[in-house]
Structure 1
Amino acid sequence: MRTYLDLIAGLDGGTQDARAEAVLMPSALIGSVPMARAVADAGFSDELLATVGARLK
């Protein structure tokens, strides 16, 4: 995981801010998938995934 995060941060300039973004992206995406699967409402599930995806762009 560390190598993956280093690679992402390096692509974005290698700054401390880039490192923070590199940590945030997979953490949010990985966390949002179980959340979306845990709810029974398909619309809410879609909203969770769409919101995380949009905020990470």
Structure 2
Amino acid sequence: MGVIIAIGGINIDPFANDPQIGRIRRVFVLKEYRRKGIGRFLINKILFDTRRTLKK
């Protein structure tokens, strides 16, 4: 069984009047895994997947 070491996501910004505007939410990396590029990778993956989804 694996261990979750990082988590994050994105949703439509409820305060913007544009469904194309998102808000990155709840990004967290376990302390012992920080400063290893995992958070940066996670943010980049969230942005990549969001851009790909919005183009459909």
Sort the TM-score into its range (normalised by shorter chain). 0.3 to 0.5
Choose between structure 1 and 2: higher helix proportion.
1
Choose between structure 1 and 2: higher strand proportion.
2
Structure with greater contact order relative to length (CA < 8 Å, sep ≥ 6) = 2
Instruction: Give the TM-score of the pair, scaled to structure 2.
Output: 0.42
Instruction: Give the TM-score of the pair, scaled to structure 1.
Output: 0.41
